[in-house]
Chains A and B, each alone.
Chain A
Amino acid sequence: ETGVTQTPRHLVMGMTNKKSLKCEQHLGHNAMYWYKQSAKKPLELMFVYNFKEQTENNSVPSRFSPECPNSSHLFLHLHTLQPEDSALYLCASSQTGTDTQYFGPGTRLTVL
């Protein structure tokens, strides 16, 4: 394992539901990332946090709301999602100043 955990591993939700994805890293890193991976598309960077501060929002719709309460935890709050939001959501962490990222196993999200 890489030291980055994600829960839940699988999530099925309706378009009117509200749910949250959780990511936790045990590596002492201070940068955390959310990515979206859809079939036949490159990984899409969604958000970047450095020292708990959001430093990048890659034009992500407001129905995705990130939260980073500390350097070890990252959440992605979901509400009123669309079926096209179905994808694998990956969390990653790194040490600021280095480029190697460590990924969690992902949450497979299905929006009905």
Chain B
Amino acid sequence: SQQGEEDPQALSIQEGENATMNCSYKTSINNLQWYRQNSGRGLVHLILIRSNEREKHSGRLRVTLDTSKKSSSLLITASRAADTASYFCATAGSNTGKLIFGQGTTLQVKP
């Protein structure tokens, strides 16, 4: 069964605006990760947040995690056209290394 579900499925914004994507999951997790994928390419790891963390920052990225609601959000501030990509959340439930991915949010940033 699908673990991560992302919302919205597609998002279109102007350059300079902030983009917020949400992810919900169903079971308990060790950590949650966000990945980015440019069209037809592999995924690139962006950020990992552990189950005992509530917020994490990396450059223009801000990730929050609410384990009581089983949800996470990814905020990209001051977006750029180069941020256009698909963004996926992935949850890790144990130390097996197995990740379960959501369907992703497709972000378009218009110059």
Interface residues of A (CB under 8 A from B): 2, 4, 6, 31, 33, 40-43, 45, 48, 50, 55-56, 88, 90, 92, 94, 96-106, 108
Interface residues of B (CB under 8 A from A): 2, 4, 30-31, 33, 35, 40-45, 48, 88, 92, 95-104
Which residue from chain B places its CB closest to the CB of A10 in the assembled complex?
B40
Contact of B97 among A40, A88, A96 (CB under 8 A): A96
- When chains A and B are docked, how far (Å) is the Cα of A58 from the Cα of B4? 18
Known A31-B97, A45-B98; contact A88-B45, beta-carbon cutoff 8 A: no
A-B contact pairs, 30 of them (CB 8 A): A2-B42, A6-B42, A40-B103, A41-B103, A42-B101, A42-B102, A42-B103, A43-B43, A43-B88, A48-B97, A48-B98, A50-B97, A56-B96, A56-B98, A90-B42, A92-B42, A94-B97, A96-B97, A97-B95, A99-B30, A99-B33, A99-B95, A101-B99, A103-B42, A103-B43, A104-B42, A105-B41, A106-B41, A106-B42, A108-B40
- When chains A and B are docked, how far (Å) is the Cα of A98 from the Cα of B30? 11
- How near does chain B come to A95, taking the closest CB pair, in angstroms? 9
Which residue from chain A places its CB closest to the CB of B41 in the assembled complex?
A105
- When chains A and B are docked, how far (Å) is the Cα of A43 from the Cα of B35? 12
Contacts between chains A and B (CB distance < 8 A), count: 66
| Further 8 A-B residue pairs, CB within 8 A, beyond A48-B97, A88-B40 | A2-B44, A6-B42, A42-B101, A48-B96, A90-B42, A94-B97, A99-B33, A104-B42
**Which of A6, A92, A101, A102 is packed against the most chain B CB atoms within 10 Å?**
A101
Chain A residues with CB below 8 A from B88, complex form: 42-43
Chain A residues with CB below 8 A from B92, complex form: 99
Which residue from chain A places its CB closest to the CB of B93 in the assembled complex?
A99
- When chains A and B are docked, how far (Å) is the Cα of A74 from the Cα of B43? 18
| B103 A105 Cβ-Cβ under 8 A | no
- When chains A and B are docked, how far (Å) is the Cα of A34 from the Cα of B40? 16
